[in-house]
Amino acid sequence: MATIGWIGLGNMGGPMTANLVKAGHTVRGFDLSPAALANAAASGVVPATSIADAVAGADAVFTMLPKGEHALAVYLNDDGVLASAGPGTLLLDSSTIDIESAQRLHDAAAEAGFRFVDAPVSGGISGAEAGTLTFMIGGDAEAVADARGFIEPMAANIIPTGGATTGQAAKICNNLMLFINLAATAEGAVLADRLGLDKQVFWDIASVSSGDSWALRTWYPVAGVVPGSAANRDFAPTFTAELASKDINLAISAAKATDTPLEMGEHVQRLMQRLIDAGEGGLDCSAIVRLVDGTLAAPAAPA
Ligand code: NAD
């Protein structure tokens, strides 16, 4: 069994570390939020007092942080992972971040003598809790192969994507599709209701028909249909609108760099921004349904 350092114990890091503990690993976790740290400790994570404390003696270190800027700070600061981890530690960043920041992390880790992989995940907190996430892993082939053993208790699928940053590239494209599907699901759900369809009957049809998607099956934005949906809890976040907006922006930046028109993506980005402008960026991203059902008085998007 391994000793694993973990930085970032939020909505995803919390249940992911719980599965590593269940598999018999020792997990030393750190988070700036005392509440996140206390939750993780309740699942058997050893609470650390700093990044250095979390990574001391670790065989592998995972980071699960909101954005590129957080990952850069956690790895590159004077008291960060690269300055504190022991030689031979395998480093895995599972945050969803921009490709440029991921490349900086690969370069800085290599310069400091570490093996590093970008290893973002898909599957939401339900997948994190069930240990059925999909990991997409970019980096040196040997490091990617070594990463597998540490990832297995958290994953149903572990898919090498190629060289440095290709895991992030896959994740950015996947989430572009996810949020377009979510917006489509929100529109279909509200229209079905206005046409007098029972919400469960319509979901039963769409989930076995051509309107099906992961968003429909997992995040259906109407209360009382899908067990894990944030709509059941007044849109308390499993994946905040702020983070969804970050992910769509990553896709839009990548599209600009590659001269790719993303008309649907840009539209969904405006919807997510309207939620944020209404002061609801901390809600679950599936609350964009409130722009369709009229329960959110958001300012209209500019024409
Ligand atoms: P979250 O905001 O719930 O958790 C992030 C945690 O990082 C917070 O607890 C925060 O306190 C901590 N943190 C921030 N800066 C830190 C620092 N310097 N040192 C220590 N801790 C620090 O976010 P999340 O939903 O767990 O998402 C994490 C990442 O995973 C994001 O990049 C997100 O896009 C991605 N992701 C999320 C989901 C989801 O369904 N929530 C699914 C797949 C991927």
User: DSSP characters for the chain?
Assistant: --EEEEE--STTHHHHHHHHHHTT-EEEEE-S-HHHHHHHHHTT-EE-SSHHHHHTT-SEEEE--SSHHHHHHHHHSTTSHHHHSPTT-EEEE-S---HHHHHHHHHHHHHTT-EEEE--EESHHHHHHHT-EEEEEES-HHHHHHHHHHHGGGEEEEEEEESTTHHHHHHHHHHHHHHHHHHHHHHHHHHHHHTT--HHHHHHHHTTSTT--HHHHHH-SSTTTSTT-GGGGTT--SSBHHHHHHHHHHHHHHHHHTT---HHHHHHHHHHHHHHHTT-TTSBGGGGHHHHHS-S-PPPPP-
Q: Whose CA is nearest to atom 42 of ligand 1?
A: 124
Summarize the confidence of residues 39-65 as an average pLDDT.
98
Q: Which CATH number do you get for residue 179? A: 1.10.1040.10
Is 77 within a domain?
A: yes
Are residues 201 and 155 part of one domain? no
Q: Is there a single domain that holds both residue 74 and residue 123?
A: yes
Are residues 131 and 102 located together in one domain of the fold?
yes
C-alpha 8 to ligand 1 mean position (Å): 6
**Inside any domain, residue 105:** yes
pLDDT at 296: 87
Where a domain ends, among 108, 134, 163? 163
pLDDT of residue 300: 55
Residue 246 lies inside a defined structural domain of this protein: yes
The whole-number pLDDT of residue 302 equals 57
Point out the catalytic residue in the list 22, 171, 199, 256.
171
* Closest C-alpha to ligand 1, atom 34: 96
Mean pLDDT of the chain: 97
Choosing from 163, 191, 214, the residue where a domain stops is 163
Q: Is residue 300 part of a domain?
A: no
Residue 246 alpha carbon, nearest atom of ligand 1: 34
Q: Which two tokens stand for residue 213?
A: 């998607």
- Whether 171 is a known active-site residue: answer yes
Residue 208: inside a domain, yes or no?
A: yes
Orientation of helix 166-194 relative to helix 199-206, angle to 10°: 140
Check whether residue 159 and residue 173 sit in a common domain. Answer: no
Q: Is the pLDDT confidence value at 45 over 90?
A: yes
Task: Please list every protein residue whose CB sits less than 6 Å from any atom of ligand 1.
Answer: 7-13, 30-33, 36, 64-66, 70, 73-74, 95-96, 121-122, 124-125, 238-239, 243, 247
Rounded to the nearest whole angstrom, what is the distance from the C-alpha of residue 192 to the centroid of ligand 1? 34
Interval 175-188: pLDDT, tens: 999 999 999 999 99
Over range 192-213, report the average pLDDT.
Answer: 98
- CATH assignment at residue 86: 3.40.50.720
17 assigned to some structural domain: yes
* Residue 27 near residue 45, CB atoms below 8 Å: yes
Is residue 298 assigned to a domain?
Answer: no
**136 and 174 both lie in a single domain:** no
In this structure, which residue's CA is closest to atom 9 in ligand 1?
10
State the average pLDDT over residues 35-41.
98
As for how many domains the chain has, the answer is 2
Report CA(200)–ligand 1 centroid distance (Å). 32
Model pLDDT for residues 203-238, shown as the tens digit of each residue: 999 999 999 999 999 999 999 999 999 999 999 999
More reliable by pLDDT, 241 or 301: 241
- Of the three residues 163, 192, 213, the one that is the final residue of a domain is 163
Reported as a single tens digit per residue, the pLDDT across 260-290 is: 999 999 999 999 999 999 999 999 999 999 9
The atom number, within ligand 1, closest to the CA of 95 reads: 32
Residues 215 and 87 in one domain: no
Query: What's the pLDDT at 297?
Result: 66
Mean local confidence (pLDDT), 14-23: 98
64 pLDDT tier (thresholds 50, 70, 90): very high
Same domain, 130 and 189: no
Kindly give the distance from the C-alpha atom of residue 66 to the centroid of ligand 1, in angstroms, as a whole number. 4
Give residue 206 CA to ligand 1 midpoint distance, Å: 31
Q: What is the pLDDT of residue 29?
A: 98
| Domain match, 159 and 213 both | no
Mutational test site, ligand 1, from 50, 51, 64, max ligand atoms within 8 Å of CB: 64
**Which residue's CA is minimally distant from atom 8 of ligand 1?**
10
Atom of ligand 1 nearest to the CA of 13: 26
- Structural domain that includes position 31: 3-163
